[in-house]
Amino acid sequence: MKKMIKLLGFIKRHTFTLVLAVVLIFVQVMANLTLPRLMSNIINNGVMVNNIAYIWKTGVYMLIITFISGISVVAASFLLARISAGFGVDLRKAIFTKLSYASIEQMGSFGTSTLVTRSTNDITQLQQFVVISRMLVMAPLMGIGGIIMAIYEAPTLSYIIFLVLALLIIIIGSALFLVVPKFKVLQKKLDTLTLVLREYLTGLRVIKAFNKSKIELDRFEVANEDLAKTTLQIARIMVFLVPSMMFIMNASAVLILWVGGHQIQSSGVQIGSIMAFMQYVMQILFGFLMMAMVFTFVPRAQVSANRIAEVLASKNTVTNPKDMKPTPIVKETTLEFNNATFRYAGAQEPVLRDISFKAKGGDVIAIIGGTGSGKSTLIDLIPRFYDIECGHILVDGLDVKSYNLKELREKIALVPQKPVIFSGTVNENIRYGKDTATDEEVKKATRIAQAEEFINNLENGYDTSIAQGGSDISGGQKQRLSIARAIARDPEIFIFDDSFSALDYKTDAMLRKALRSELTNKLIIIVAQRVSTIVDADQIIVLDNGEIVGIGKHKDLYINNPTYREIVLSQMEEGEVA
């Protein structure tokens, strides 16, 4: 509940609107509490004594109060809807901003599917809670006010009120006791369903290629039915509330008429007072009915609030340093790893141990090793996607932990293993790395990336729209666009993480030749599985089980390093090795 109250702090910029809505709700409640009293007066002082003037006068007051109440209801509902919409906007912005600056490790601790659910469904739950919060204000006022007014009208019938309240508390309390734990389970099952759906959509080609559509459909049905089962369990409990409340409401009306009728004859209680008392009891019941409806939303809103608060409260493990140093101005870019060791959070063993090497602008550095040797992890340490456990990583002589993150990453262009293509035009995708890139710079980047020919063959050239994820172009074309984006950025350090794997040997060779001739003063780091991609590198770093087992040129490593020789011979015949 504390987390939900904390999240509702996002409404603070709507404070005036919220206060106005509360005032309107208060006006509505006061109007509702006044009407039975006026009706009692009409019966007792007008109808019973045949005072037509009094009836007309009081009736006009009732019409005016009813009109004011109606206007208050409409206005309060409209204001709360505006607050809910603004609250959703602010909360989504807060989560998106949090995730935008979150570290890779921080994001990984949640998972993509649950982050999508928390950013959409959970926020919607809280928005719905804000909309119905008028009941949260109105119900207690109506309940307490109704009790006071009912006792004032007919104190001899007050024991009926407390009897009804006891029954309501037992019924509502039992329902909440049973339903609250199930709402927590419901959100987790919704996460599972989102995960299954997301995996199906992202892995559609593989699923179809392996004829696994039936299996995935069965998997989806299990998750879907599991969610439906929990939803029905909650519905069965909650659906019991309304008929129970209606039964109590009708039974209390019969009891009031029966007891009140006897008291009219025996103790002189006025008819108008009995009728007003019955209406106040109905208002009390209606208030508790509204409270019960609110309570059906509260558990789910509370679960959603906790899940959103977890995201907002999560700590970024990679942040700007307190003792941030100015970015060095150097003639030649340098990169140095000095006994760097890294382990993932919760891992028992380090992924990388005592990594040490040096590189400078103009060099082409290649990193090779078996699967799981730590190649991609090593390059992720340079732009500080993760922080090392011990040792140092220096860019231009300054430890990366002393850099402003924005300035550090502006020095680097990374082309990941899986090329990321955004929905938009070819031009927009290439300029994603540098908004201010000129047309000449874009064309130069595509020429170096060997992408110019296929772009020119597209229907609208650079203005051709590409589907989300690049689903309408080939893997090699996506890689070349991703490489062109990095080149257009014009950074000091290029990192290619197995980014040539979808290219044929000819295109691969032409691309590497263009990189050497065009990016002469840049530091180029290439992670590769294919030996032919790295044979011309100035320095090859051989990784095995998270450790450097060799550094040197191709020929020297082939002769002197068993690990590298084994990798080479796994791809080439001995006579083919240059």
CATH of the domain at 139: 1.20.1560.10
Q: What is the predicted pLDDT for the residue at 67?
A: 93
Confidence of residue 574 (pLDDT cuts 50, 70, 90): low
Q: What is the predicted pLDDT for the residue at 359?
A: 92
Same domain, 303 and 391: no
Q: What is the predicted pLDDT for the residue at 179?
A: 77
Residue 320 lies in a domain: no
Same domain, 381 and 468: yes
Q: What is the predicted pLDDT for the residue at 214?
A: 85
Q: Is residue 503 over pLDDT 90? A: no
Q: What is the predicted pLDDT for the residue at 357?
A: 92
For strands 547-552 and 539-544, give the pairing. Answer: antiparallel
Same domain, 302 and 338: no
Q: Which residue has the higher pLDDT, 312 or 291?
A: 312
Same domain, 347 and 298: no
Helix ranges restricted to H, 389-531: 405-410, 426-431, 439-448, 452-456, 475-489, 505-518
Question: What is the Cα Rg of the chain in Å?
Answer: 35
Same domain, 168 and 25: yes
Residue 538 lies in a domain: yes
Average pLDDT over residues 345-350: 82
Q: Are 304 and 126 in contact (CB under 8 A)?
A: yes
Confidence of residue 2 (pLDDT cuts 50, 70, 90): low
Same domain, 436 and 514: yes
The domain that contains 426 carries what CATH number?
3.40.50.300
Range among 32-46, 244-258, 335-349 rated most confident: 335-349
Least confident of 17-21, 244-248, 480-484, 507-511: 244-248
For strands 364-369 and 539-544, give the pairing. Answer: parallel
Question: Structural domain tally of the chain?
Answer: 2
Domain boundary among 254, 280, 313: 313
Q: How confident is the model over 362-387, as pLDDT tens digits? A: 899 999 988 888 888 999 999 998 88
Same domain, 294 and 404: no
CA distance 17 to 4: 20
Range of the domain at 65: 2-313
Residue 244 lies in a domain: yes
Least confident of 95-104, 440-449, 518-527: 95-104
Q: What is the predicted pLDDT for the residue at 14?
A: 81
Q: Determine phi and psi for 453, rounding to 5 degrees.
A: -65, -50
Confidence of residue 336 (pLDDT cuts 50, 70, 90): very high
Same domain, 270 and 404: no
Q: Which residue has the higher pLDDT, 307 or 269?
A: 307
Distance of CA 212 to CAs 193, 200, 209, 338, Å?
A: 18, 10, 8, 48
Confidence of residue 176 (pLDDT cuts 50, 70, 90): confident
| Residue 354 burial (CB count, 10 A) | 15
Confidence of residue 405 (pLDDT cuts 50, 70, 90): confident
Same domain, 299 and 378: no
Q: Are 274 and 254 in contact (CB under 8 A)?
A: no
Same domain, 94 and 155: yes
Same domain, 304 and 348: no
Distance of CA 481 to CAs 39, 311, 419, 422, 507, Å?
A: 77, 33, 8, 11, 13
CA distance 370 to 289: 66
Q: Is residue 578 over pLDDT 60? A: no
Residue 144 lies in a domain: yes
Confidence of residue 577 (pLDDT cuts 50, 70, 90): low
Domain boundary among 313, 344, 379: 313
Residue 322 lies in a domain: no
Displacement of CA 323 from its chain's centroid (Å): 32
Q: Is residue 469 over pLDDT 80? A: no
Least confident of 246-250, 409-413, 476-480: 246-250
Cα first-last separation, the chain: 69
Confidence of residue 286 (pLDDT cuts 50, 70, 90): confident
Residue 551 lies in a domain: yes
Q: How confident is the model over 42-86, as pLDDT tens digits? A: 887 877 777 888 888 888 988 999 999 899 989 998 998 888 888
Closest residue by Cα to residue 260 from 248, 244, 272 = 272
Least confident of 68-77, 189-198, 426-435: 189-198
Domain boundary among 253, 284, 313: 313
Q: How confident is the model over 97-142, as pLDDT tens digits? A: 888 887 777 777 777 777 887 888 888 888 888 888 788 888 888 8
Closest residue by Cα to residue 511 from 538, 479, 489 = 479
What share of the chain in percent tops pLDDT 70? 96
Residue whose entry in the numeric block shows the structure tokens 């990784």 = 543
Least confident of 230-244, 335-349, 380-394, 494-508: 230-244
Residue 82 lies in a domain: yes
Four-point Cα dihedral 408, 413, 414, 419, nearest 10:
140
Q: What is the mean pLDDT of the chain?
A: 84
Same domain, 300 and 365: no
Range among 199-213, 259-273, 389-403 rated most confident: 389-403
Confidence of residue 327 (pLDDT cuts 50, 70, 90): confident
Residue 146 lies in a domain: yes
